[in-house]
Amino acid sequence: MEDNPDPRGGEPVFHELSHGESFLALLESRFRRQGLWLLDEPESALSFAGCLRLLGHLRHLLQDERNQVVLSTHSPLLAALPGAHTLEAGPWRLRRRKWEDTELVRTWRDFFDSPDRFLRLLG
């Protein structure tokens, strides 16, 4: 997606973009300085390609060690952020897990291995 800049050279014209495109344009235009970035389920507005684009932007942002990102997600793709410390929430409260050992990743793998097994439960 190409940024949709204001003809006067300012920010993207957010109202002319889709929900996901405007979210990414906002993030890419504002998440440039060092800081602590808190994101709560940013994948909700994004397609698979949009999640990859977000992941790339976060990866670039984290090349500067002065930046930190705290990300809560239900997306195994975003949870795969290179170098991330993965904490899994559940009845056990919080626990540190390897990405591949999280329930999130295991559940998606189980679904992709046998979608019919899950779809049968829907009735």
User: By the 8 A CB rule, do 25 and 12 touch?
Assistant: yes
- Let me know if residue 111 belongs to a domain: yes
Residue pointed to by tokens 């999280």: 102
Q: What is the pLDDT of residue 95?
A: 96
Domain extent at residue 54: 14-80+90-122
Q: What is the pLDDT of residue 25?
A: 85
Count of domains for the chain: 1
Cα–chain-centroid distance for residue 3? 19
- Let me know if residue 39 belongs to a domain: yes
First to last CA, the chain: 39
Distance CA 1, CA 90 (A): 36
Residue pointed to by tokens 């329930």: 103
- Let me know if residue 52 belongs to a domain: yes
Q: In this predicted model, what pLDDT tens digit does every residue of 43-87 receive, in sequence order?
A: 998 999 999 999 999 999 999 999 999 999 999 999 999 999 999
In terms of Cα–Cα distance, which of 95, 46, 36 is closest to 75?
A: 46
Q: In this predicted model, what pLDDT tens digit does every residue of 2-55 receive, in sequence order?
A: 444 444 456 778 778 888 888 888 888 888 778 899 999 999 989 999 999 999
- Let me know if residue 7 belongs to a domain: no
